[in-house]
Structure 1
């Protein structure tokens, strides 16, 4: 049943003003925080592990928490209107549930789960990538606890994936080598980290509810228990390679190029994961996104125009990805647990 602002109590604020975020200094969390700060309309609270040395931008309130002490989580989330969860895949498996349960006890009405995936309506794709059932369980828990969720369907992070090594988009910049999935022509939906941040800020900048029955404007409630579909580029590896050559001033002759059967690569990665070797996870994940007959391309559902998101320049984003290479190499293996 549709709710309207006119029917709410006099104290009702038809806007999301207070946002809590977990992982505010992380890969995607930092971009979400940056976009929210630029909007200038949200009070942002970063939940940070007690004793952490993480620093956050000016204007972000820090709430120290202990994930093994629910009371600290509930206290940090009290009076918050929206919780955004961005946590590393290496986080303990019960972390997401602890956060969601604490949010429910604190009275937080809305949660953005730690998903940032492709098309959540493509169930088979999610199952093949392993993450689908996990994300579904997270969304189900949010609903079971009486809250609503809004998730971001953004595809692979373009810049992060380009600079993240051969197991992602196939590029090894140190050795100037490139592995094409099949012929390298299959296109997939991708989003830059900055575009994801802008999309989240746009959604949280909307009125929470329509004013009345005659209000047809876009509201936060338009996205309740749904995905926000956003992309930056729908590109193939060959499209990326052309951009990389322009940005680096290289030619085909400067690169060592190999081809691998995409489905074979997927099966190899899956076999590694089944033996407990999580180094195969990125391999299966990205290979599955480039299956020629079922690629992770949801461009027909993209809501960029609806949200007023800007068009981006491929070469500029490629440069950002290349600049990330050294930074990402310093990180421990993200899929090690």
Structure 2
């Protein structure tokens, strides 16, 4: 039987699964096409900076990872195969954030959620980190590749005592730009670019830093509904938290790269590919065992003419509600370039 949940006025205790502090190396491979796990590092940074929460990071019992020295940070070493170990680590927390790599065992997310329910956690940010929810998702919920994102929400919905807030952030900008051609179409190191169609279709994309700010800002709010229109965590209960850094096209990305690198289009080898053909090619590669096909198809799908990659136009982002800053595109691009220069990406 699940532990009885008590409503809290403010979230004080936050558990975080999947934090990593990677160096930029070729180990960032296509089995992890959206860099899940690394986002936890940025969430932890901003949660600790706010000073409003005690954060418990769950890590494997044999992990050698080191973490920042902070009075509000606890590290709990757990056996992920043991429900008892997970429940013990999660007990006393009000909110759980899950950030897992796609190479994590397929049952692991559901097992962590079930343990959270038994531990008395009230709300979970599942391992979603994708496109918009509700009417913003369009045909993506039935796409054979992207419909799998919904299973993370389904894991939470199985437990009626649990609630969720899904962070809808699109693809992570600096990661996606730095990873290589199968992602945003750019090989920064070798100065090649593949434009989907004409390269002018805009999608929403978000930096790791903006995601971290968004989570910290959300969890700093009171939990129960407030009078007078004041914001509360419950305003997003069982919904998507839609944030974004930029609504941009591949053309915008290349323009930014040119400004940062001091290059022009003449310094790049630019090719064009029909986005539908690229998606099909990616799916065929995936089915043949080539894991880069996963990234190629997934990224191409968000650039379809049907427009699901743009979850901002015609809707309201939550950036303003959370007080998120307007970011500088070239600064974000510069970070991606520095990542590439440091060895980040698929090789």
TM-score (norm 2): 0.88
CA distance in 2, matches of 1:136, 1:235: 25
Query: Which residue matches 1:144?
Result: 158
SS in 1 for 2:291: coil
CA distances 1:20-78 after superposition (whole Å, capped 9, x unpaired): 00012241000100110111101000000001011111222100011111111000000
Structure 2 residue aligned with 1:54, among 37, 52, 65?
Answer: 65
SS in 1 for 2:324: coil
CA contact (8 A) 2:180 2:345 kept: no
Query: Which residue matches 1:91?
Result: 104
CA distance in 2, matches of 1:95, 1:325: 31
CA distance in 1, matches of 2:104, 2:14: 22
- Can you give the 5+ residue segments of structure 2 that lack an aligned partner in the other structure? 21-36
- Cα offset for 1:303? 1.1
CA contact (8 A) 2:13 2:54 kept: yes
CA contact (8 A) 1:24 1:56 kept: no
Q: Highest relative contact order (Cα 8 Å, sep 6+), 1 or 2?
A: 2
CA contact (8 A) 1:187 1:295 kept: no
Query: Which residue matches 1:289?
Result: 302
Further displaced range: 139-148 or 93-102: 139-148
CA distance in 2, matches of 1:197, 1:172: 27
CA contact (8 A) 1:117 1:156 kept: yes
TM-score (norm 1): 0.90
CA contact (8 A) 1:186 1:295 kept: no
CA distance in 1, matches of 2:249, 2:221: 34
Structure 2 residue aligned with 1:226, among 239, 243, 252?
Answer: 239
CA distances 1:94-126 after superposition (whole Å, capped 9, x unpaired): 110110011011111111000100112215124
SS in 1 for 2:229: coil
Query: What is the count of residue pairs matched by the alignment?
Result: 320
- Cα offset for 1:297? 0.2
CA distance in 2, matches of 1:78, 1:84: 14
SS in 1 for 2:263: coil
1:12–1:186 CA distance, 2 compared to 1 (3 A): closer
- Cα offset for 1:215? 4.1
CA contact (8 A) 2:225 2:235 kept: no
- Cα offset for 1:328? 6.3
- Cα offset for 1:330? 6.4
Query: Which residue matches 1:3?
Result: none
